[in-house]
Structure 1
Amino acid sequence: MTDIDQAKEAVRDRVWRRLIDGDGAPDDSYGKIPGFYGAEATAERLAELEEWRRATTVKANPDWAQRPVRIRALEDGKLLYMAVPRMASLEPFFLLDPETLGASAEEAADKRGATQFARRVGVDDMRPIDLVVCGSVAVNRSGARIGKGAGYSDLEVALLIEAGLVTDQTVIVAPVHPLQVVEGDIPETEHDFSVDYIVTPDEVIRCTNPRRPRGLVWADLTPEKIAAIPVLAQRQNAE
């Protein structure tokens, strides 16, 4: 584990503990993207943003914390791409089209519902993304963020950047509990992206330091990680 990895883990540990101790999330949230209390109110606040109203395509993580945002996206008629858990498919995204759903928004936006009602797509079959909703453990007001350490959010965004589907015009949002907003620096590496907005149940924070990687950073990927994610293994074999 590098010094940066250790520093990130220290931030995660601190935030998980204060979130649980401060009754911001259930006791079993340690080690996860926390399903924080107030996620529904956060989704409502996000929906008030002009950037949300303009967006026609939204990409979101499959975490429980983002379920209210996924539901709202479908209710608002937006095309929703939801990452397949652990990117365990050559087609690593679910496509949820509100015009053709065979279920309610609540059912379809759930991980189990997406498996049943959505079809899987690869980046070649996706439309440009207007807004990305990323699950996070911690964020700071400049826009730096970290997840639980598995790196899937970074890989999803990097794939979409390489495909030209996420650009500098794409808005990236982190819906979180106020206790997940930290003061001070969050360590960043070449593959990390920052967010444009932090949204909590209480406020919207416009971040000042937008940052996007150029794409996949192969040097940061272990052979085990590449082998475990079919789309990465396929790309590596094609090179």
Structure 2
Amino acid sequence: MSSHKSEVRNEAWSELLKVAKPDSRFHYNFAEFIADFDGSDRATAMFLEHSVFKSADPIFITPDNCLEELRYETLLAGKKILMTTYGIRRGFWLLDPQEIDSKFLMYASTLDGMEKFGKHLSLRDIQESKLQISAMVTGTGAINMEGVRFGKGHGYFDLEWAMLYSVGAIQTTTAAVAFVHECQLLHQDLKPEVFDTVCDLVITNKRIIELALGKAQKPKVGVVWDLLADGMLEDIPPLQELKQMKITI
């Protein structure tokens, strides 16, 4: 299955290269980052008018390049954002626009600014505060018409989902939303893994594809420790924290 995933992912990336915006650190190495793309501003504008966005607060948004404008618009709308650092290595951060000077909201929505203006939350903090995330938004490398994603290959969003699910911050009915360019849409029939978070909404530069809101397959097992890639537990402190918490799903 992993070799098939790589083949599908590489096919989508070859098309994405035509519309992607390079990253200052990673150029066009899509194995290292989720790229911004031509028309992501239109995707953002469409999602801002959707009921999922309008009712979501706080909202989890990944640190992907294609979501930077969405993060800014979310703060501008007065909504809190929970997000992670690159690779989840420094964990979860909560951005509260009520605590940020409006002139810094754009900077706060970036990877460089989020830690300056956000508040670090451990998984125990999230659990004890009973934080409830209304929607989870991610970029991805490719996605099919049933909402099965293929990201960079690291599985970060699935880990974020699993960790937040484990501490009660989300449920299987929480909406999962993916932002992609039309060229990243796949038409293959793909079977999700047990740990895959299938998306309910797919937002492209041209349209919103609504699947079964709140009914797409979501993992009910938390982190599948035996299936973590080598070195992932050692590299991601929140995973270490969760393991020490010994939560039983």
Structure 1 length-normalised TM: 0.91
Q: What's the offset of the Cα at 1:186?
A: 3.1
Counterpart of 1:118? 118
Contact 2:30-2:152 within 8 A present in 1 as well: no
| Residues 33 and 148, structure 1, Cα contact 8 Å, conserved in 2 | yes
Query: Given the alignment of the two structures, is residue 229 of structure 1 paired with residue 236 of structure 2, yes or no?
Result: yes
The equivalent of 1:149 in structure 2 is 153
Q: Of 181, 189, 207, which aligns to 1:185?
A: 189
Partner of 2:15: 18
Could you list the per-position Cα deviations for residues 165-209 of structure 1 after superposition, in whole angstroms to 9, with x for gaps in the alignment? 111331111011111111112342111111000011211101246
Deviating more after overlay: 54-63 vs 202-211: 202-211
Give the 3 Å change call, closer, same or farther, for CA 235–163 of structure 1 in structure 2.
closer
**Aligned pair in 2 of structure 1 residues 121, 179: CA closer, same or farther (>3 Å)?**
same
Any stretches of 5+ residues in structure 2 without a counterpart? 23-27
Q: Deviations over 1:195-227 (max 9, x none)?
A: 000011211101246011111111111451111
Distance 1:98 1:238 in 2: 30
* 1:52-201 correspondence to structure 2 within 5 Å: 52-89=53-90, 92-102=91-101, 103-126=103-126, 127-201=131-205
Q: CA shift at 1:24, angstroms?
A: 1.8
Change (3 A) 1:29 1:43: farther
CA-based RMSD of the aligned residues comes to 1.7
- Is the Cα contact below 8 Å between 1:11 and 1:186 reproduced in 2? no
In structure 1, the partner of 2:5 is 8
Compute the displacement of 1:236 (Å). Answer: 3.0
Letter in 2 for 1:25: A
* C-alpha contact (below 8 Å) 1:57/1:130 kept by paired residues: yes
Distance 1:236 1:192 in 2: 20
Q: For structure 1, which segment, 73-82 or 28-37, has the greater mean C-alpha deviation from structure 2 after superposition?
A: 28-37
1:30 offset after TM fit, Å?
Answer: 3.3
Could you tell me whether the CA contact under 8 Å between 1:135 and 1:175 is conserved in 2? Answer: yes
Determine if contact 1:139/1:186 at 8 Å carries over to the other structure: no
Q: Do 1:17 and 1:30's aligned partners in 2 also have CA atoms closer than 8 Å?
A: no
Q: Secondary structure of 2:59's partner? A: strand
CA contact (8 A) 1:145 1:186 kept: no
Q: Determine what percentage of the aligned residue pairs are the same residue.
A: 28
TM-score for both structures, normalised by structure 2: 0.87
Letter in 2 for 1:94: W
Q: What's 1:210 paired with?
A: 216
- 1:99 partner SS: helix
Contact 1:133–1:174 (CA under 8 A) maintained in structure 2: yes
Match of 1:227, SS state, is: helix
SS in 2 for 1:201: coil
* Displacement after TM superposition at 1:29 (Å): 5.0
